[in-house]
Amino acid sequence: MQKIVTGIDVGSYQVRVVIAQRADNPREAPRILGTGYAESRGLKHGYIVSIDEVSRSIAAAVSQASKAAQVKVKRAYLGLGGIGIEEVFSRADTVVERGDSEITARDLPRALAASEATLSPTATLNRRIIHSIPLRYYVDGVRVLSKSPLGMKGMRFSVETLFITCLERHVHDLVEAVERAGIEVEDVAASPLAASFVALNKMQKRVGCVLANIGAETLSIIVFEDDMPISIKVFPTGAADITNDLALGLRISPEEAEQLKQGAVLGSSFSKKRIEDLMSHRIQNMFKLIEAHLKKIGKNELLPAGIILTGGGSSMQTVVDSAKSILRLPSRTASLTENSTSNVHFKDSAWAVAYGLTLWGFTQGGEIELAEEDDFTDLLKNIWRWFKRFLP
C-alpha cells in the first residue's frame, strides 16, 4: 500500500494540491506533509478551454506542495468537477446464479452490469461512467431492507443504481493536463464525493444531509441518506457571479468588488445595505437552485442533518443564514479535521476536495485497520468498506 499520496483539485479559481503520508502506526491518521495552490487558468465553469494553461497551473501548485513536503510527486489522484458531472439512475433484473437460489458475491457485479446495460444511449453518449453506486436491492421484486442481499434466496435479483458520469472529453483533457505537468494519474473521483470524505461525518450521512460546494464558477451538491450518496448535481453559478454583481451594481472594478465580497471596507460612498442586497440576491438564487433539486428528488426539508457548506464561497457572510432560511434546514460551514501531528492547518473548507482525494488514495489498496476510538481514523477505516461496494 502506498506510503505517500497526492490529491489534485483543479477548480475554476484555484488548483489545490495536498500531499499526505501514511503513518507507520496503522492506528494513526495520515499526516499532511505539504499543500500548494496556484491560480487556475484555462478553465470556464470547471471545463477546460486550454490544456496548456491548465497544465501550467497544475505544475505550479504541485511544485509548491512538493517543496513544502520535500518529496517529488510522480503520481496523483485527480478530482473531477465542473458542469460536466451528471447523474443517471437505472434498475435491472438478473437471474440468481446458484442452483439453490442463494445470492452470492458473484451475483452483485452481474446485477450492476445489467443495470448499466439498460441505460439509454443518450445517457452515456460522449460520457464516461465514473462511479456506479447501488442504492437499493430487490429479491423477487421485494426490496431488501438490509445493506447487503448476500445469503438471501430468490429466483431474481435486481439493483437500482446511481451512475455518476462525466463528459468524456473533459476527463481526457484534464488527465492530459496533469500528464503534461509530468504526473501520472492513478485514479479519478467525482469532486463532490471526494469532499464528502472529510466534510461529513457518519451521523450526517446516515440521517440525511446535502453537502454544497460553492466554487468560483460552479455550485455542486451531493445528497446523502442512509450512509449512501443518492444524488449529485452541478450548477453553472458560483462566487464569481457575486463579484460581478457587485462590480456592475456599484460600478467598481472586479478587484474592488472581490474585496467587498470578502468583507473589506473600501470607502463611505458604498451603502452597506446596497452591498448586502446585491450579495444576498445572488446567494438566495443559488440556494433556490438547491431547493428546486431537493424538491425534484423528494428530499426538500427532509434532511435532518441539513446543509453543510464547503468551497471558497462558503466563507462569505450571510451564506449560512441564507441557506437556513431558504432551505428551512440546519446550516453550517464544514470544518476540516486534521491530524494534530501535522504542521499543516487548512484555513478553510476549500481544501476539502484535495484532502479527500488523498484519503481516496490511501484506501485503494485494501482494508485499513485503524483505532475505533478516534473519530478521524474511524472515518478512514470505513471509506474503503464503503467504496468497495460501489466500484464496478
CA atoms of 105 and 107, how far apart (whole Å): 5
69: burial class by Cβ within 10 Å (0-12, 13-18, 19+)? buried
- What is the grid cell recorded at 364? 485503494
% of the chain exceeding 90 in pLDDT: 58
pLDDT in tens, 256-302: 888 888 777 665 577 888 888 899 999 999 999 999 999 999 999 99
How large is the angle between the packed helices 319-327 and 272-296, nearest 10 degrees? 40
CA atoms of 173 and 194, how far apart (whole Å): 20
- Residue 32 CB neighbours (<10 A): 24
Residue 379 pLDDT exceeds 60: no
Q: Name the CATH superfamily for 219-333.
A: ATPase, nucleotide binding domain (3.30.420.40)
- Do 4-83+168-201+336-388 and 219-333 share a fold? yes
Stretch 168-188: mean pLDDT: 95
Residue 146 pLDDT exceeds 90: no
Stretch 239-256: mean pLDDT: 91
Residue labelled with grid coordinates 499520496: 5
- Cross-strand bridge partners of residue 21: 4, 31
pLDDT at residue number 273: 85
CA atoms of 309 and 345, how far apart (whole Å): 19
* Domain boundary assignment for the chain: 4-83+168-201+336-388, 86-167, 219-333
Q: Pick the closest to residue 181 from 33, 68, 69, 75 (CA basis).
A: 75
* Per-residue pLDDT band at 386 (split at 50, 70, 90): very low
**Is 3.40.430.10 the CATH classification of the domain at 4-83+168-201+336-388?**
no
Helix (H) or strand (E) holding 90: strand 86-95
Q: Are strands 209-214 and 156-167 parallel, antiparallel or unpaired?
A: unpaired
Which of the two residues, 146 and 291, has the higher pLDDT score? 291
Residue 323 pLDDT exceeds 70: yes
pLDDT in tens, 10-69: 988 899 999 998 877 766 667 889 999 999 999 887 788 999 999 999 999 999 999 999
- What is the grid cell recorded at 333? 460551514
36: burial class by Cβ within 10 Å (0-12, 13-18, 19+)? buried
* Per-residue pLDDT band at 344 (split at 50, 70, 90): very low
- Residue 223 CB neighbours (<10 A): 24
pLDDT at residue number 257: 87
Stretch 216-244: mean pLDDT: 93
CA atoms of 31 and 211, how far apart (whole Å): 25
Sign of CA dihedral 184, 187, 190, 191: negative
Stretch 105-132: mean pLDDT: 91
pTM beyond cutoff 0.75: yes
CA atoms of 201 and 195, how far apart (whole Å): 11
Cβ atoms of 18 and 357 within 8 Å: the answer is yes
Under CATH, to which class is 86-167 assigned? alpha beta
Residue 375 pLDDT exceeds 50: no
SS3 assignment, position 130: strand
Question: What is the separation of C-alpha 98 from the centre of its chain, rounded to a whole number of angstroms?
Answer: 38
Residue 184 pLDDT exceeds 80: yes
- Cross-strand bridge partners of residue 126: none
Mean pLDDT of the chain: 85
